[in-house]
Structure 1
């Protein structure tokens, strides 16, 4: 896989947890870290978009997740 290379420093408590996950899943450190980073960035992006959409949703009466669920189900 081609791409950018970065260096990440892990604290003494995180490194053994990462290594255990790698051993149990059969994936490399890079694969696990890439997967975790993709997920975290997707969550951050979702939260950002949600904050931007909230004023528009509130103006139309969508104040909670339940309001949205009720409307689409």
Structure 2
């Protein structure tokens, strides 16, 4: 089931969105849905990372390289 969402966009952003839509041969609504999905996923990841970071740091995982070394 889908629901309708109405948003206001500046004219320049709407124009860019239409251009990308034509270039990708995808409907504008598909592009917007995909963008929102990605945004939500990134925000969930950031939230989870913020919660886990103190535990990781306590175990000595401070950088991405630390994690890579541990799993390699």
Q: Normalising by the residue count of structure 1, what TM-score does the alignment of the two structures yield?
A: 0.93
Instruction: Give the length in aligned residue pairs.
Output: 72
What is the RMSD of the two structures over their aligned residues, measured on CA atoms?
0.8
- Which aligned pairs between 1:28-67 and structure 2 lie closer than 5 A? 28-67=27-66
Residues 11-69 of structure 1: CA deviation (Å, up to 9, x unaligned): 12201110000001111111000001101111111011000000100110001111111
Q: What is the distance in 2 between the residues matched to 1:59 and 1:13?
A: 47
Gaps in structure 1 of 5+ consecutive residues = none
Gaps in structure 2 of 5+ consecutive residues = none
2:11 is paired with a residue whose SS is coil
Q: Normalising by the residue count of structure 2, what TM-score does the alignment of the two structures yield?
A: 0.94
